[in-house]
Structure 1
Amino acid sequence: MFIDGGVEGASIEQIAKRAGVGKLTVYRRWDSKEAVLAAAIESARDGIPEAPADFADVPVATLVRELLPGLAEAIAEPRLRAMIARIFGASVSHPELMATYWDNYVVPRRRNTRVLLERAQAEGAIAADADLDVLIDMMVGAVLFRLVQPEPLDVAGAAAYLESVYRQAGLLD
């Protein structure tokens, strides 16, 4: 519903109806429509691979190469592009949605990415004095900018683009 109609197109009543439950059931799990939508957005991301919690024995470049095909498939998916557009489009009119999504889902992923980049720094792949928060912003920004361009990437194009981003970031040689 969110992808098709944005925040306005997804009421608690509609969400409950589609789920086959009452509104009270929805409110027992989530305290607002924004919290439901943030959880739904996260659920839609389920197929996107992430670094495992413990990857201490795996070189960063090896891990990135293992994750790359699944990430490429995800960013080539048209529904992900639509969802990203809806999220950013709603950030002005519904800042609480972005705040909820940011706190619950973006911040933990940034922490995990920082750990990965710290490992890459320790391996000497990234300069010791690199600002890792800026590097994270640059990588995410590059991918998001590419996602909203009029010409979508196919899986092969997405893989090539991601490989280039990760190479520029120092994660691949």
Structure 2
Amino acid sequence: MTRTGRPRSTAADAAILRAARELLVERGVGGASIEEIARRAEVSKVTVYRRWSSREALLAAAVESSAEGLPGRTHREADPAELDPDMTYDQMTALIESALPQAARTLATPGYRALLAQAFGSRFTHPGVMAAYWDNHILPRRRVALPVLRRAVTEGHLPPGTDVEALLDMTVGALLYRLLQPGDITPEEMLDHLRRVYRQAGLLRS
């Protein structure tokens, strides 16, 4: 049976995520309550809970929603189906290459860097937020990337015996290390950093 009723408001989705991002940056995880998010978004708490089952899930989605332009990101939440575990090495490197300019602009944005800092800083004070972000947004992409990298080793694109899990960890770690450093970074500087990291990891052709 087809369900009928009021269609979900994308405007409300956007307002809730925007309010959550703003409060995370301004007040941290502790100050980003459902009540405050609903008040700033000018919606009811019921409207928020219809979309996200918990504060942790909402805050994780808020961090993710700020990452538009990065590979595999959608407007609202991660969609790992956008990344194909059966893609070839050439397709993977082409995807990375095409995504880098927009990714650099996104990663260089002070607001995005602040959100990442809040998310990772919540690991011990509010572990549920980091757990939701990890389970819903990081692990799904990791599960897609690993078989592609293993196939790249088998086909000779990466050195024999490459530990692809360590390679992925080091690549992401190098990006986070730069993002969490003090001081501003321009999109041009970020693009140069991305190219050097991915090239060193063997994930860019040139």
- TM-score higher than 0.5: yes
Cα distance in 2 for residues equivalent to 1:139 and 1:68? 14
Cα distance in 2 for residues equivalent to 1:15 and 1:63? 35
Q: Specify the code of the residue in structure 1 equivalent to 2:52.
A: W
Residue identity (%): 46
* Native 8 Å contact 1:16 1:23 kept in 2: yes
Report what 1:127 is aligned to: 159
Cα distance in 2 for residues equivalent to 1:57 and 1:89? 36
Say if 2:71 is the partner of 1:49. Answer: yes
Match for residue 106 of structure 2 among 58, 74, 80: 74
Q: Which runs of 5+ in 1 are unaligned?
A: none
Q: Specify the code of the residue in structure 2 equivalent to 1:56.
A: M
Match for residue 140 of structure 2 among 108, 115, 123: 108
Cα distance in 2 for residues equivalent to 1:70 and 1:148? 19
Report what 1:14 is aligned to: 36
* Native 8 Å contact 2:89 2:152 kept in 1: no
Secondary structure in 2 aligned to 1:8? helix
Residue 46 (structure 1) shift: 2.5
Report what 1:164 is aligned to: 196
Moved more, 43-52 or 96-105: 43-52
Could you list the per-position Cα deviations for residues 74-116 of structure 1 after superposition, in whole angstroms to 9, with x for gaps in the alignment?
A: 2111111111111111111000111111101110121232244
Report what 2:14 is aligned to: none
Report what 1:31 is aligned to: 53
Q: TM-score, normalised by structure 1?
A: 0.89
Aligned CA RMSD, in angstroms, stands at 2.0
Residue 119 (structure 1) shift: 4.3
Alignment of 1:81-96 (within 5 A): 81-96=113-128
Residue 47 (structure 1) shift: 3.0
* Native 8 Å contact 2:38 2:45 kept in 1: yes
* Native 8 Å contact 2:153 2:160 kept in 1: yes
Q: TM-score, normalised by structure 2?
A: 0.76
Cα distance in 1 for residues equivalent to 2:154 and 2:177? 29
Residue 8 (structure 1) shift: 1.4
Q: Which runs of 5+ in 2 are unaligned?
A: 1-22, 74-81
The total of aligned residue pairs comes to: 173
